[in-house]
A = this chain, B = another copy of it.
Amino acid sequence: MDNEQPDHDLTADVVRALEAILLVAMEPVSSTLLAQLLEQSVATVETLCEKLAGAYEDAGHGFQLCKVAGGHRLQSHPDVAAYVERFILDGQHIRVSSAALETLAIIAYKQPMSRGQVAAIRGVDPDAVMRTLQARGYITEISRDDGPGQAVLFGTTPLFLERLGINSLQDLPPIADFVPDASVVEALELGLRVSTIESPTLSE
């Protein structure tokens, strides 16, 4: 039996759920939120996390469970950082996609925005793109919606401003008084009609 295995089967299930949540979490998860999700006391969660962290270390895993600002998170073990560095340098081949740029633009101009609100504007599910932007540190969870479902609301980070070379969001070029919009310009360039012609079903 693994030495990470806790005493009771009940606890075992809680630990499994804890591990699963920490694995999928994009940001550190607070003990309070974990306690709520696992239906345990905050103290129990703290103890479980400590035990689990010790068990990971003892078993010699390549990851560790750490307590950082804001809560608990899984991270790669410093001992094998050299490999992780190699992976990042070798394995990633990333250029900003237009999907990412559009999603970032929407969030930058209209924050705070939920995933659903971004989806409504872009017309496609922005999930994967938003995870990438979040992982890169350009956007972050800033609050939760009051409404039902309590959707996570996203906004841009100081890193985003830094990379864009601006001091604040006020420095973004304004969009409200910008006329004509992109599609009109495009249509004009095409030299084709701009307005919607009610085309009757002549061809049917």
Interface residues, chain A, with chain B CB atoms under 8 Å away: 2-5, 12-13, 15-21, 23-26, 29, 33, 36-38, 58-63, 74-77, 79-81, 83-84, 86-91, 94, 114-116, 123-125, 127-128, 131-132, 135-137, 149-152, 159
Give the docked Cα–Cα distance between A3 and B135 (Å): 32
Q: Which residues of B contact A159 (CB under 8 A)?
A: 128
Contacting A127 at CB < 8 Å: which of B20, B21, B91, B125?
B91
Are A26 and B125 in contact, CB atoms less than 8 angstroms apart? no
Q: Which residues of B contact A80 (CB under 8 A)?
A: 13, 16-17, 20
Q: Which residues of B contact A36 (CB under 8 A)?
A: 90
Q: Which residues of B contact A74 (CB under 8 A)?
A: 23
Oligomer: number of copies: 2
Contact A91:B132 (CB < 8 A) given known A19-B63, A59-B4, A83-B17: no
Q: Which residues of B contact A149 (CB under 8 A)?
A: 89-90
Give the docked Cα–Cα distance between A72 and B13 (Å): 25
Give the docked Cα–Cα distance between A62 and B79 (Å): 24
Contacting A62 at CB < 8 Å: which of B23, B29, B76, B94?
B23
Are A137 and B128 in contact, CB atoms less than 8 angstroms apart? yes
Are A94 and B20 in contact, CB atoms less than 8 angstroms apart? no
Q: Which residues of B contact A88 (CB under 8 A)?
A: 24
Contact A23:B63 (CB < 8 A) given known A17-B80, A38-B83, A86-B37: yes
A27 to chain B: closest CB distance in Å? 9
Are A79 and B115 in contact, CB atoms less than 8 angstroms apart? no
Give the docked Cα–Cα distance between A114 and B131 (Å): 24
Are A91 and B124 in contact, CB atoms less than 8 angstroms apart? no
A12's nearest neighbour on chain B, judged by CB, is B60
Are B135 and A116 in contact, CB atoms less than 8 angstroms apart? no
A94's nearest neighbour on chain B, judged by CB, is B125
A129 to chain B: closest CB distance in Å? 10
A137 to chain B: closest CB distance in Å? 7
